Amino acid sequence: MSDTLTSPSALSILSEEEQLFRQTVREFAETEVKPHVMEMDEAAKFRPDIVAKFFDMGLMGIEVPESLGGAGGSIFLATLAIEELARVDASAAIYVDVHNTLVNNAILRWGTDEQKQRLFPRMTTGLLGAYALSEPASGSDAFALQCKAEKKGDGWELTGRKFWITNGAEAGLFIVFANTDFSKGYKGITAFLVERDFPGFSVGKKENKLGIRASSTCELILEGCQVPAGNVLGPVGIGYKVAIETLNEGRIGIGAQMIGVAQGALDCCVEYIKERQQFGKPIADFQGVQFQIAQMKVELEAARLMVYNAARLKDQGQPFVEEAAMAKLFSSQVANRIAGQGLELFGGYGYSKEYPAEKFFRDAKIGTIYEGTSNMQLQTIAKAMLR
């Protein structure tokens, strides 16, 4: 396997601790995840024992302070973990990504001390999280959501449906966004911490997807779901801020997924072209092929540095929203180009499930869609430029 991360330009921005962490996650991905990737993709189901190992390794509380049972790490370390897992299987990376960058991050930023003390010992040891914002009529227009929340006695009652919720089949805790006062528009939106066993809550249809098939994507059904008052995340009516700020960090995670997918696609492509014979020699000997893989590496390195830069800025408390949008946009474009070109270099075999090229191709596409489409990233970048 080729290893772009051992190039001087990439190594120069990784500390010894970060390199060791990256290598540990890579070895885990190769030994514990890779042998089951094709089986999980075909079954469209992720192995529960691997999710349990994510928790055992401390990968589900990377940014959570040690005082709350986490690793006390950084978004940069989370980025490295997501990237290395996606290099082997994008579905594996998504479990770690959503749990860390969306769910844990939102609770750390907006949760009360009581909520943190109550949830984090569980969130870092076995309780999987999910983030429920999307609805059929509110994708890019996230604040057009119709899920409503009504005050009932000492608590709240939530009614509505959520769609395309990652980790939905397995999660035990859901951050659900609902509107408490439609007359206030998006300023009525509030975030709620909903546990799976709350009355009135259920998980509906699981989507049969093109890519990231082993990652569950489900409908959530709230029929008068009873939520205690102590489970409001952030002040009432501030849910739009919770959503925006959380998704800003989440885009770094998606960028990490995409550079991981791109690296995996490039790795298998380089390995294949060294073996594939045409006209009496390996196709890697043809200059036209060499130029293609060289261009792939250039674009991947550029995307990786953009993602790493956004993560570093976030860790340093610097503005990072524009950089995260650019990293998410470009890394998803690069992943699609590399996965597509790599598949073509496999020839007919690329279209077969006998080789991993077609899976990387399928897994790459989602990067241009979820946690903000490419057009929405362009809008964010343009607004930052024109303000």
Q: Hey, where are the domains in the chain?
A: 4-123, 129-238, 241-386
**CA 237: distance to chain centroid?**
26
Mean pLDDT, range 81-103, rounded to an integer: 98
**Average pLDDT, whole number, for the chain?**
95
Is residue 7 pLDDT above 50, yes or no? no
Among left, alpha and beta (phi > 0; psi -120 to 50; other), residue 221 is beta
pLDDT 10s digits, 47-72: 999 999 999 999 999 999 999 999 99
C-alpha 275/C-alpha 171 separation (Å) is: 43
Nearest to 277, CA basis, from 266, 265, 289:
289
Q: Which of 139-143, 225-229, 243-247, 321-325 has the lowest mean pLDDT?
A: 139-143
- Of these residues, 63, 84, 299, 371, which one is catalytic? 371
pLDDT 10s digits, 170-225: 999 999 999 999 999 999 999 999 999 999 999 999 999 999 999 999 999 999 99
Tell me which of 265 and 1 has the higher pLDDT. Answer: 265
Structure tokens at 28: 């885990």
What pLDDT was estimated at residue 9?
Answer: 54
CB 313 within 8 A of CB 272: no
Local confidence band at 12 (pLDDT 50, 70, 90 cut-offs) = low
What pLDDT was estimated at residue 324?
Answer: 98
The yes/no answer on whether domain 129-238 falls in CATH 3.90.1150.10 is: no
Is residue 86 pLDDT above 50, yes or no? yes
Structure tokens at 340: 């597509």
What pLDDT was estimated at residue 2?
Answer: 43
Q: Which CATH number fits domain 4-123: 1.10.540.10, 1.10.569.10, 3.40.50.10860, 2.70.50.60?
A: 1.10.540.10
Is residue 282 pLDDT above 50, yes or no? yes
CA dihedral over 229, 234, 239, 243, signed as positive or negative: negative
CB 149 within 8 A of CB 156: yes
Q: Do you know the residue count of the chain? A: 387
| 299 in catalytic set | no
Is residue 6 pLDDT above 50, yes or no? no
Is residue 123 pLDDT above 90, yes or no? yes
What pLDDT was estimated at residue 8?
Answer: 45
Structure tokens at 53: 């190992």
Local confidence band at 142 (pLDDT 50, 70, 90 cut-offs) = confident
Q: If you write DSSP's letter for every residue of 225-265 in order, what string do you get?
A: EEEEGGGEESSTT-HHHHHHHHHHHHHHHHHHHHHHHHHHH
C-alpha 65/C-alpha 327 separation (Å) is: 26
CATH domain 241-386 topology: Butyryl-CoA Dehydrogenase, subunit A; domain 3 (1.20.140)
What pLDDT was estimated at residue 140?
Answer: 87
CA-atom Rg of the chain in angstroms: 21
Helical residues (DSSP H) of 131-207, grouped into ranges: none
